[in-house]
């Protein structure tokens, strides 16, 4: 192995508009309450005097952990590569006869608890519990009790050993609950480029779920990954890059599970549009959900990449998506669930279906699904009809499904609880809220109109200073300054601004309020998109309220208009204004809700509510027009972005309840903007991947992911397309300089992965006597069945419905003894997580005010083996500096960061050649460059 490191200095100064010194004040008396709510592992949090100090401590702690690991790697023996026949080949291939990609079989579902030194204690405890359960008690863990058949969005049946589990949305706070925080969305968190803050957001979200009695948080969302700019649920995820999604997903999982709540990472995989996601949702001619057809390399390097991070962090659950993947439904796709997730990525938790995403009983079980939610068959809500429940019990009794599979499902469901610190299920706090009403009292089973009237809501206030301050700080750091000509921001009377116009529907509240069902009230400021990830706002500080208050405090005159169509009031007020702030928006959400023919996905990338015309009307009359774009993703800005009177532009993803306060603080300079774009804003809509919205004659839409590994900015770079604003872009009120690049080798790279350890021997669990199905009949003498409630009990003693069951092609019950070469650990081969190099650089605040700088590291791979994107994000570090202050930014390059997926050998490899290391402020503004020359020798 020969490694040569070279350095080049491109540009040492990032020029950003500088304004007179302004004290950036977050106003946080944080040290009084941080100690109560921040768990172990955060260095010196007791000494934090502000929220930002705490975030800085978290960042330092994250770095110190990996640095200490890196030092250990220096003493590890060099692990060599062994050639061994592959036990399975690439799971998809192009097959014209089957209209595209075909998902190959992979059986059986790998037993959990067989990876050396991974979750062994948790599995031992879970097995002991499961061995005490009957078949029906095990089935009760796997099958939701039905929509509305419990206090939570998802509820499992309990038994004498474990209580029912409460499973609740979601990724941005507690859905369908009162006295909770409406957190900034995943897209907003991604815009902060602050991993410490992302981690604290995960902790805060988990704390509020825990205080409400939730056991499993349906979050974070790391799929969709943003392949399509108009995708309806992009706002739930962290951005359009697998590395950014992976890091954000990882630290969010860590934050959630450190609070004793299980994280369910969603949606696996290829859920890149809402249109055609589910049969029976809108189009009656749809015969099968859209198939996301993903190539092998793209699957590994793009779509599966962030899931590996989350699993490596110990995620307890993964949710499979509605769509098909290579023409097999995701929730019954054995290549996806058994092969990629459980075998290759070594996932040890349980796979949960999205709500109604299960389409078969036995097949989905054999394919690797462990829990079905909410229990019913899609569009048969409250019917009691389930693919599992009594049918799963029957399949075990007639031995179609082996007991070992049911045992593994139950153990996988329980093991994560022990991983996150559960010692005794009897001490778990039950849910203290109802997802179905905000009244204190209600019927026990409201959708079945059954049961007594009892207390269903205790109105527990789950919020505190930590959770609220976390939400506010994420909102502040998420705001991206895209343009600031003439240094017109921050706003000040000293710049001649005495009369201020606030214009636009998005500046105020919707006429329908802040909390219409699932946030489909879109005629006002956007706190989130619509759908299951939306959270009821306890209150909202609108942009108009927050901006007007600050302006009034500065003795300004404030005008306001919501007029976006007639323009008579707008035109007149614009003529008088010294500065106008125009708030515009664009919204989207989940596919079960349509707004103005936006079926979840946006039907175009234009601003809503005639926003383009509003901006042009104001800009024609006011020489200082500031535009604030509050949207779920990129919008087309070409109609007004170059207008000479549009002097400043801010982008704000949905920011939760503090949307107005955070925007006002940035506009007036209380906070120096530090957000960065987590996606590319194009000049032409044609540069984005389109939504598939044409239904073919056979009713089975196909979506070939033809961009392959070239997602977002990588596609723009490949085709030399000039964006309006590139990925990672964002301005500040101060200026910075980068210098002193240093690259250090920690561990010499090898071309091939080392062979992972063998699986542990199979643990033989006790099996139940299934001679007499009478044991599993409904206990009518003990209880009265609730209408629509899904029970695990048999209807009768007839357990055989067909003479012979046809197992899926390739099925075998025989377990493998060896993991694949790419597997053998949480998130894949343990060697993938080895640190090979550390990269450091110095950042200096050369401006006059305090500000934060996001250093971004990109790697250019050699093309020795196969072509790759010209630049790929492989690190980011955010530092806050006083004027004249200096700090080091730090990056760790893991083996996986320098690897490509080799489709022929089915493993990650490191190519020989020159790796260029870039550090800069965006994907196209790169100030420092170094080189690593790798000549591998695996003998």
Catalytic residue set = 354
Distance between CA atoms of residues 641 and 38, nearest Å: 43
> Residue 613 has which token pair?
């015309």
Distance between CA atoms of residues 628 and 647, nearest Å: 11
Are 508 and 542 a contacting pair, CB within 8 Å? Answer: yes
> Residue 632 has which token pair?
């779920």
Distance between CA atoms of residues 294 and 292, nearest Å: 6
> Residue 619 has which token pair?
């800009």
> Residue 617 has which token pair?
């009307």
Best CA proximity match to 166, nearest among 177, 181, 155, 175: 155
Largest CA distance in the chain: 88
Query: What is the DSSP pairing of strand 907-909 with strand 913-920?
Result: unpaired
Are 918 and 868 a contacting pair, CB within 8 Å? Answer: no
Distance between CA atoms of residues 354 and 374, nearest Å: 8
Distance between CA atoms of residues 877 and 387, nearest Å: 47
Distance between CA atoms of residues 336 and 334, nearest Å: 5
The CA–CA distances, whole Å, from 860 to 349, 834, 867, 927 equal: 35, 20, 11, 15
Residue 598 DSSP one-character state: B
Best CA proximity match to 858, nearest among 914, 934, 924: 924
Strand residues in 371-461 grouped as ranges (E): 441-445, 450-455
User: Which ranges of 678-742 would DSSP assign to H, the alpha helix?
Assistant: 713-718
Distance between CA atoms of residues 269 and 292, nearest Å: 8
Strand residues in 515-574 grouped as ranges (E): 557-561
Tallying the residues shown for the chain, one arrives at 939
Residue 517 DSSP one-character state: G
Query: What is the DSSP pairing of strand 100-103 with strand 92-95?
Result: antiparallel
φ, ψ dihedrals at 422, nearest 5° = -70, 125
> Residue 924 has which token pair?
């196209």
Distance between CA atoms of residues 479 and 628, nearest Å: 10
The CA–CA distances, whole Å, from 366 to 377, 411, 808 equal: 18, 16, 9
φ, ψ dihedrals at 109, nearest 5° = -70, 120
Distance between CA atoms of residues 74 and 921, nearest Å: 32
The CA–CA distances, whole Å, from 779 to 57, 298, 385, 776 equal: 56, 51, 19, 8
Q: Give strand pairing partners of 264.
A: 317
Distance between CA atoms of residues 628 and 489, nearest Å: 12
Distance between CA atoms of residues 839 and 194, nearest Å: 18
Distance between CA atoms of residues 621 and 625, nearest Å: 9
Distance between CA atoms of residues 289 and 327, nearest Å: 9
Angle at 648 (CA atoms; ends 642, 653), nearest 5 degrees: 105
> Residue 807 has which token pair?
């197992």
> Residue 332 has which token pair?
């019954």
């Amino acid at each position: 192995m020969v490694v040569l490191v070279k350095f080049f200095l491109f540009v040492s100064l990032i020029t950003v508009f500088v304004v007179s010194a302004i004290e950036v004040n977050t106003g946080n008396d944080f040290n009084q309450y941080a100690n109560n709510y921040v768990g172990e592992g955060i260095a010196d949090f007791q000494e934090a005097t502000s929220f930002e100090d705490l975030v800085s401590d978290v960042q330092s702690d994250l770095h110190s952990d990996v640095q200490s690991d890196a030092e250990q790697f220096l003493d590890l023996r060099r692990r060599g590569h062994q050639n061994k026949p592959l036990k399975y080949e690439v799971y998809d291939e192009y097959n014209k006869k089957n209209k595209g990609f075909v998902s190959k079989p992979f059986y059986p579902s790998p037993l959990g608890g067989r990876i050396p030194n991974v979750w062994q204690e948790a599995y031992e405890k879970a097995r002991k519990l499961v061995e005490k359960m009957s078949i029906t008690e095990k089935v009760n863990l796997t099958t939701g009790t039905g929509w509305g058949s419990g206090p939570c969005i998802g509820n499992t049946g309990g038994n004498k050993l474990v209580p029912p589990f409460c499973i609740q949305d979601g990724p941005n706070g507690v859905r369908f609950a009162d006295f909770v925080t409406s957190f900034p969305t995943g897209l907003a968190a991604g815009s902060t480029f602050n991993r410490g803050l992302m981690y604290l957001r995960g902790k805060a979200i988990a704390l509020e779920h825990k205080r409400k009695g939730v056991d499993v948080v349906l979050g974070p969302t790391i799929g969709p990954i943003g392949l399509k700019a108009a995708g309806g649920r992009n706002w739930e995820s962290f951005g359009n890059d697998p590395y950014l999604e992976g890091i954000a997903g990882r630290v969010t999982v860590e934050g959630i599970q450190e609070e004793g709540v299980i994280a369910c990472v969603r949606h696996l995989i290829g859920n890149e549009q809402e249109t055609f996601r589910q049969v029976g949702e809108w189009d009656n001619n749809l015969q099968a959900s859209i198939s996301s057809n993903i190539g092998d390399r793209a699957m590994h390097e793009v779509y599966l990449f962030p899931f590996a991070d989350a699993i490596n962090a110990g995620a307890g659950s993964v949710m499979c998506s509605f769509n098909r993947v290579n023409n097999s439904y995701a929730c019954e796709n054995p290549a996806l669930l058994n092969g990629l997730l459980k075998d290759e990525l070594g996932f040890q938790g349980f796979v949960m279906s999205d709500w109604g995403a299960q389409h078969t009983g036995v097949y989905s079980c054999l394919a690797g699904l462990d829990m079905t939610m909410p229990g019913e068959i899609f569009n048969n809500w409250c019917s009691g009809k389930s693919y599992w429940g009594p049918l799963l019990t029957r399949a075990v009794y007639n031995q179609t499904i082996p007991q070992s599979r049911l045992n593994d499902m139950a153990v996988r469901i329980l093991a994560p609880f022990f991983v996150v610190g559960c010692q005794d299920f009897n001490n778990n706090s039950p849910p203290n809220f109802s997802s179905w009403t905000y009244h204190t009292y209600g019927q026990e089973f409201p959708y079945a109109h059954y049961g007594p009237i009892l207390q269903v809501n205790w109105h527990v206030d789950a919020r505190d200073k930590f959770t609220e301050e976390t939400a506010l700080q994420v909102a502040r750091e998420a705001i991206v300054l895209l343009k600031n000509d003439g240094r017109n921001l921050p706003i000040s009377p000293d710049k001649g601004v005495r009369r201020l116009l606030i214009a636009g529907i998005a500046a105020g509240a919707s006429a329908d309020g802040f909390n219409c069902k699932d946030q489909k009230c879109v005629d006002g400021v956007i706190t989130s998109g619509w759908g299951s990830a939306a959270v009821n706002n306890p209150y909202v500080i609108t942009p108009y309220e927050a901006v007007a208050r600050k302006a009034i405090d500065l003795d300004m005159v404030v005008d306001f208009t919501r007029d976006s169509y007639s323009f008579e009031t707008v035109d007149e007020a614009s003529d008088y204004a010294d500065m106008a702030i125009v708030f515009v928006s664009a919204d989207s959400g989940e596919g079960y809700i349509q707004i103005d023919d936006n079926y979840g996905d946006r039907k175009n990338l234009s601003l809503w509510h005639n926003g383009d015309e509003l901006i042009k009307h104001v800009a024609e009359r006011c020489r200082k027009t500031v535009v604030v774009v509050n949207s779920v993703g990129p919008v087309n800005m070409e109609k007004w972005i170059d207008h000479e009177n549009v002097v400043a532009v801010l982008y704000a993803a949905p920011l939760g309840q503090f949307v107005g306060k955070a925007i006002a603080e940035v506009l007036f300079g209380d906070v120096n903007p530090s957000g960065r774009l987590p996606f590319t804003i194009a000049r032409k809509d044609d540069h984005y991947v389109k939504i598939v919205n044409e239904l073919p004659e056979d009713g089975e839409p196909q979506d070939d992911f033809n961009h392959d590994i070239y997602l977002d900015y990588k596609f723009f770079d490949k085709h030399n397309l000039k964006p309006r604003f590139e990925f990672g872009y964002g301005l500040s009120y101060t200026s910075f300089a980068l210098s002193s690049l240093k690259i250090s080798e920690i561990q010499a790279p090898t071309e091939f992965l080392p062979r992972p350890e063998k699986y542990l021997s199979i643990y033989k669990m006790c099996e139940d006597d299934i001679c007499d199905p009478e044991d599993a009949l409904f206990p009518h003498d003990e209880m009265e069945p609730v209408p629509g409630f899904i029970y695990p009990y048999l209807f009768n003693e007839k357990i055989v419905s067909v003479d012979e069951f046809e197992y899926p092609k390739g099925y075998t019950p025989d377990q493998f003894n060896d993991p694949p070469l790419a597997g053998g650990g949480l998130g894949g081969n343990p060697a993938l997580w080895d640190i090979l190099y550390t990269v450091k650089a110095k950042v200096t605040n050369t401006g006059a005010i305090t500000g934060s700088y996001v250093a971004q590291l990109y790697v250019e791979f050699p093309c020795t083996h196969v072509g790759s994107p010209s630049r790929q994000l492989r690190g980011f570090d955010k530092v806050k500096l006083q004027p004249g202050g200096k700090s080091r930014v730090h990056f760790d390059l893991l083996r996986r960061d320098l690897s490509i997926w080799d489709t022929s050998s089915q493993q990650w490899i490191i190519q020989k050649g020159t790796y260029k290391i870039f550090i800069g402020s965006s994907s196209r503004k790169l100030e420092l460059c170094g080189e690593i020359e790798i000549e591998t020798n695996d003998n």
